[in-house]
């Protein structure tokens, strides 16, 4: 049994790794870690390179932040599990088979660039629902998972409000990374691992 935990940035992946390594796990549960980079193309390239060099995992577990929007601009940081991934450019939907559920299931839009302003297609998506989530990796994760017939778990944590994100200056990178790392450190890993271990025993 091998789980491949995937996150976009090294510092955030380190935060996940440190917590999981501190937990007492069953000896038959092997967890490996991969930094995939930001964006679908980087994700696909990194994952396929890993799979070419290593034995295939039982499933891929992506943990990362995402953008969000809701009508009242309320901060919603509760983690959710991605049920479907919608390509923001083509509107094509990819359904992720729910072989295991560890958090509430929601849909996520996915694109190639950071969303800084509205465009015609984004305005159409905006009108679909009062609540939506956006990231730049989930489509790449599911693309590779489907290609290699591997189950995947995509866990997202709402982090920044869509459309209001500003261009990040270099001096802000570390501050943003530290905030993300802190969020990832405080996820309920005990609960997630308990459900994963229960699924393994089935």
Residue range 126-152, pLDDT digits in tens: 555 567 788 889 999 999 999 999 999
pLDDT of residue 170: 47
Domain count for the chain, please give it: 1
What's the predicted TM-score (pTM) here? Answer: 0.85
Nearest to 132 by CA among 155, 110, 164, 99: 110
pLDDT of residue 61: 95
User: Which helix (H) or strand (E) segment is 160 a member of?
Assistant: strand 152-161
pLDDT of 88 strictly over 90: no
For the domain that residue 64 is a member of, what is the CATH number? 3.40.50.1580
Q: Nearest-5° angle of CA 151, CA 153, CA 156?
A: 155
Q: For residue 169, what pLDDT band results from cuts at 50, 70 and 90?
A: very low
Query: Which residues constitute the domain of residue 90?
Result: 2-201
Residues 6+ apart with CB under 8 A from 124: none
In terms of pLDDT, which residue wins out, 68 or 44? 44
In terms of pLDDT, which residue wins out, 101 or 176? 101
- Residues constituting the chain: 202
Looking at the DSSP bridge assignments, the partners of residue 30 are 2
**How many angstroms separate the CA atoms of 129 and 150, rounded?**
30
pLDDT of residue 133: 87
The chain-wide mean pLDDT, for the chain, equals 81
pLDDT of 195 strictly over 70: yes
Q: For residue 120, what pLDDT band results from cuts at 50, 70 and 90?
A: very low
């Amino acid at each position: 049994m091998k789980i491949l935990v995937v996150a976009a940035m090294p510092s955030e992946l380190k935060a996940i790794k440190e917590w999981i390594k501190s937990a007492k796990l069953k000896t038959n549960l092997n967890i490996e870690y991969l930094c995939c980079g930001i964006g679908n193309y980087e994700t696909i390239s990194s994952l396929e390179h890993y799979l070419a060099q290593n034995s295939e995992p039982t499933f891929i577990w992506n943990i990362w932040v995402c953008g969000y929007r809701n009508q009242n601009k309320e901060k919603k940081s509760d983690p959710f599990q991605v049920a479907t991934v919608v390509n923001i450019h083509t509107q094509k939907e990819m359904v992720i088979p729910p072989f295991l559920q560890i958090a509430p299931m929601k849909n996520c839009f996915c694109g190639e660039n950071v969303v800084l302003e509205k465009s015609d297609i984004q305005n159409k998506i905006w009108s679909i629902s009062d609540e939506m989530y956006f990231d730049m990796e989930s489509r790449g994760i599911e693309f590779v998972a489907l290609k290699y017939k591997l189950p995947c778990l995509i866990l997202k944590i709402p982090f920044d409000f869509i459309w209001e994100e500003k261009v990040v200056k270099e001096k802000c990178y570390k501050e943003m990374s530290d905030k993300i790392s802190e969020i990832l450190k405080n996820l309920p890993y005990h609960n997630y691992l308990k459900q994963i271990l229960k699924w393994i025993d089935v």
